[in-house]
Amino acid sequence: MQRDKLNMDRRDLAKAAFLGAAMAALPAMSRAQAASADENLVFTADDPGHWGDAVKAKHVPVATVSGSTLTVTTPHVMTPAHYIVSHSVVLAGGQYLGRRTFTPADMPTSTYTLPDGYKGKVTVTSTCNLHDFWVSSLTV
């Protein structure tokens, strides 16, 4: 009889431990389901994701406008092992403006001509061969 009670106590303890672990995991599961589809896929200055602040300083594209010329630069060293692969530019409403690809021998700077009189959002991207896809934007 004593042995049956001991076995029952062990089962109850195991059930309680399992239930406790499951309850503890619920908040994490909830956060995982609430994460956006681009989390740790698209990175910004405000959200460098798993790369962190140390990496973002060299990967976030910087866009400037002078007249109708848009210039995109990425403050990144270019070596055969680690370099910026490309810049892309998209205007408001998803209008594709252009893309430039780079080799390790290039400087990661590109220029584009904005449509005459363009006013609105400009989204620029910078892709690194090691540190993924970075996005920034400005309003003209």
Give this prediction's pTM.
0.71
Residues 28, 51: Cα–Cα separation, whole Å: 21
Domain ranges of the chain: 1-35, 42-139
Residues 117, 91: Cα–Cα separation, whole Å: 13
Strand 132-139 versus strand 42-43 pairing type: parallel
pLDDT of residue 1: 55
Q: Please determine, looking at this structure, whether the domain spanning 42-139 carries the CATH number 3.40.1010.10.
A: no
pLDDT of residue 64: 97
pLDDT of residue 31: 47
pLDDT of residue 70: 98
Residues 90, 92: Cα–Cα separation, whole Å: 7
Query: With helix as H, strand as E and coil as C, how does 24-44 read?
Result: HHHHHHHHHHHCCCCCCCEEC
pLDDT of residue 43: 85
pLDDT of residue 52: 80
Which parts of the chain have pLDDT scores under 70?
A: 1-38
Q: Which of 57, 52, 65, 48 is nearest to 133 (CA)?
A: 48
pLDDT of residue 55: 76
pLDDT of residue 60: 94
